[in-house]
Amino acid sequence: MLAENCIFCKIVRNDIPSKIIYENDETLAFLDIFPIAEGHTIVVPKKHYENIEAIPDEILISVIKIVKKLATLLHDKLNFEGYNILQNNFKAAGQVVQHFHFHIIPRNFNDSRFRLAIPREQAIEEDLDQILKIIKG
Ligand code: 5GP
Ligand code: ZN
């Protein structure tokens, strides 16, 4: 995707408005327009990189530092009990905007709009060994 057509690049350039909560030379953080919960925040590098494989390590480090800072700030200021840091890569994983970003998603014990469903079916050891062989091979 070209940066000119990218919705987050447009937000960075201020071509479209957003509710910015933090900004520095490399990073911008703004409220998600379709929030899963109050305070749902998106943190992006100002430069356009499509996903975690494309973003240079130094910039990734700057962005994750801001994610930590803002997660702590939001947790302090808003009344929620926990939060998920989410980062989707490629369409199959639910990435809709092809500009690298983190979500900070506030959570409460009684919420139901967002859930990580961890399967309870334990793996067969031989299957794990086979995958391990492929990964390390
Ligand atoms: P993804 O599914 O790509 O990880 O998440 C993209 C996120 O960006 C979604 O949660 C969506 O609500 C948010 N989003 C998409 N367009 C806009 C926009 O124009 N403004 C803001 N503030 N958020 C947006
Ligand atoms: Zn972009």
Is 56 a member of any domain? Answer: yes
- Active-site annotation holds for 103: no
Is 2 a member of any domain? Answer: no
- Pairing type for strands 41-45 and 102-107 reads antiparallel
Q: What pLDDT is recorded for position 1?
A: 61
Q: What pLDDT is recorded for position 112?
A: 87
Residue 21 Cβ < 6 Å to ligand 1: no
Residue 34 Cβ < 6 Å to ligand 1: yes
Dump the DSSP string for 18-87. Answer: --EEEE-SSEEEEE-SS-SSTT-EEEEESS---STTTS-HHHHHHHHHHHHHHHHHHHHHS--SEEEEE-
Does residue 69 contact residue 41 with C-beta atoms inside 8 Å? no
Q: What pLDDT is recorded for position 94?
A: 95
Ligand 1 atom closest to the Cα of residue 18 is 22
Is 109 a member of any domain? Answer: yes
8 CA distance to ligand 2 middle (Å): 5
95 CA distance to ligand 1 middle (Å): 9
Does residue 21 contact residue 78 with C-beta atoms inside 8 Å? no
CATH of the domain at 125: 3.30.428.10
Does residue 43 contact residue 10 with C-beta atoms inside 8 Å? no
Q: Which domain holds residue 24?
A: 7-136
Q: What pLDDT is recorded for position 28?
A: 98
The amino acid at residue 71 is: A
Is 83 a member of any domain? Answer: yes
Is 73 a member of any domain? Answer: yes
Is 1 a member of any domain? Answer: no
Quick one: which ligand is closest to 48's CA? 2
Q: What pLDDT is recorded for position 95?
A: 98
Q: What pLDDT is recorded for position 2?
A: 66
Q: Is 8 exposed, middle or buried (0-12, 13-18, 19+ CB in 10 A)?
A: buried
Each residue's pLDDT expressed in tens, for the chain with a length of 137 residues: 668 899 999 999 999 999 999 999 999 999 999 999 999 999 999 999 999 999 999 999 999 999 999 999 999 999 999 999 999 999 999 999 999 999 999 999 999 888 888 889 999 999 999 999 999 99
Domain count along the chain: 1
Residue 135 region by backbone torsions, left for phi larger than 0, else alpha for psi between -120 and 50, else beta: alpha
Model pTM?
A: 0.96
Is 46 a member of any domain? Answer: yes
59 CA distance to ligand 2 middle (Å): 14
Ligand 1 atom closest to the Cα of residue 94 is 2
